[in-house]
Structure 1
Amino acid sequence: MASHSRRRISSFNLSFLDIMFCGFGAVVLLVLIINTNTLNRRSERVADISTELEQMEMEERLMNGHIVRQQAEIGRFERSISTLQKTRTAFMNELDEVESSTVSNSQRRSAEERIAALQEELRRLANELQVAARQKREARDAGRQVRAFVGAGNRQYLTGLRLDGERVLILVDSSASMLDRRIVDVVRRKVLDDKYRRAAPKWRRAVATVEWLVANLPQSSAIQVHHFNTSVNHLTAGDSSGWLPVTSFNQVDELIGQLKMVAPLGGTNLEEPFLAARTLSPPPDNIVLITDGLPTQGKRGARSTTIDGRARVKLYQQAVKNLPVGTPINTILFPIEGDPMAASLFWQLAVDSGGSFLTPTRDWP
């Protein structure tokens, strides 16, 4: 019987090498994917920082131009007032000369007519002097805004917001949805560090809106600024914990600086800020709400990780019951996708309270 040779068994056969190479290929693929995501994120951060730097430079240039124009306008009014005063002095001297001179009857009648004309001209010059003085005060007051802000001027007229009141409460939504207008971008941004969340374009617009509001309020107004997500936080400056006059320039700057350090995160609870507004003493006579949609949770907190539109409407209806009675509510809405009922409900709130409603363009304020 013929002998058969036995097959040698090797631990490094073809199947084992296939497994090894497949594992190695998987590792290489994973490294490539992670490296690509890291590069993309780094490029996005660089783009955000570059955009922010360009905008700051543009704002600085426009602000400097605004100050120069304001100073030139004040100088023009001062020159106009000086000219009118000199003309008035000349007319007064001529009037005194006419009255003191000895003339005949015909000359006296002519002089009296001249005196009457001079007196009429004097009254006209006095009126022009009052108008010029008022314009000078208005120009100087415009240069005394609490914070210089690009795009002030006619934008107050165009928006139709109620920028008045002795005590103005500004409520700023600082939830995660204020990071972007699209949900997928909100999810992407909210996992970033605080520094990058503060630099989100939508949040920076909200902070700029607060600056615009403060800059355009009457100088007799006082403010409080609260920001809210799942809870409400009262911003304070210096020793002041109550109503802060807008003419307290250093404290207002400190207040805005604190708001700029807020990094949006968490859900949206409208009950807490509305309750806080109701308990203020003395109460606000004007409320400005800056938000992007209906609440996502109530006073009891979030019951699940998701919420539908009908539940958000119920939370909103519960929240508005806590608003102070008789106080106008002015809402500035930066809309987010997936919340179609927000605009109509906040518009109805403005109508019911005697306030206003605004959905600004992306380049406002």
Structure 2
Amino acid sequence: MAISLSFSQVFLLFLCLFQTPGTHSVLMMNIKNSCEDTIWPAYVSKPHSSELPKNSTGFTLRPGESKIVSAPANWDGTLWGRTHCSGNTTAHKFTCGTGDCGSSALECPSGTAAPAATTLAEFTPKGAAGEYAYSVSLAKGFNLPMTVVPRGNSHQSISDCKATGCVADLNKECPKDVQVVRGNDVIGCNSACEAFKETHDHYCGRSSTYSDHFKGLCPGTQAYENDKTNTFFSCASADYYDVNFCASSFPSSSPRFVTHSTASSPEVYGPGEELWDNSGKSTPLLIKIIASISGTIVGGPFLMWLVHIIWSRYQRADHSRPFFCHLKLIFECRSNWICNCCTNNSNPQENSSAMHHVPSKFPNQREQIMKKVRR
């Protein structure tokens, strides 16, 4: 059987075969476009980080294509995908609908701030040589689904390392007041911080209904700037990382926190409105305590009163009958076998029908039997 490998796969396999697993002098990333349209990935190094090689900070990927990017040791930076781009790359007239880095060129200069309404992948050196912390962030917003999967040699996912990212299309779930629209299409989704920071800066660096909405759909992503919940991962044994745009799912063999939730989305409010969602995540602790105390105050005495009534009637009743028979003194008897049992424990059917044989001309005797049955 013939085996077909792309050039990038052959190159990665060659590098992995001639290095010790988990020890690297460079950070290798295999960037893949699984989208239906062309995208333009962009890389930006953070201040004081080593620089990427030339022609690596911006390039074109057509549907199904992939490209290997080798970042120098201890590289610290961010990457994202640009969409709806047009213009002449050589004449510095290149612009994009989302993810534009403002350079008017295919490549993005070092130190460029990550643009709004863009899904970001971040890599940061973590102590040990060759180990990186990686994450997918929605703190600036969303434009493309993106996953990051650590890989070992032979292209296998690593069982003790987690994949992260977002496979949901949040453009379809984006609240209207933070949408990025081109024509009739939503091509991006701003974070609340980016959309309202001029007038409502309290959305920045903290949880809100908007960030909770996106976190519910993509649990393993960073939903806002200071979000530390299931957002940063590391893998000491990774040989390289698959960064896949528009992946429809995560590799089945790779453990992960992140799955696309199909639960109904919480209601999203506009700026300045109350930010309590339907899930109750934002309910203040004081209200929960008050509700708990109120339930105890109202429910506790009622339950004690009910037990007292049942027990006091049982003490005055005939103890030869089963205890449950005395419940009919409080609750209406709706079951014949309980009623029969309560009239006479030894022969319920005989006593149950006794009143039918009493002539109507003896009303007092009939009334006495009826009282016995009711007891």
Q: TM-score range by the shorter chain?
A: under 0.3
Larger helix share, 1 or 2: 1
So what's the TM-score if we normalise by structure 2?
0.24
Larger strand share, 1 or 2: 2
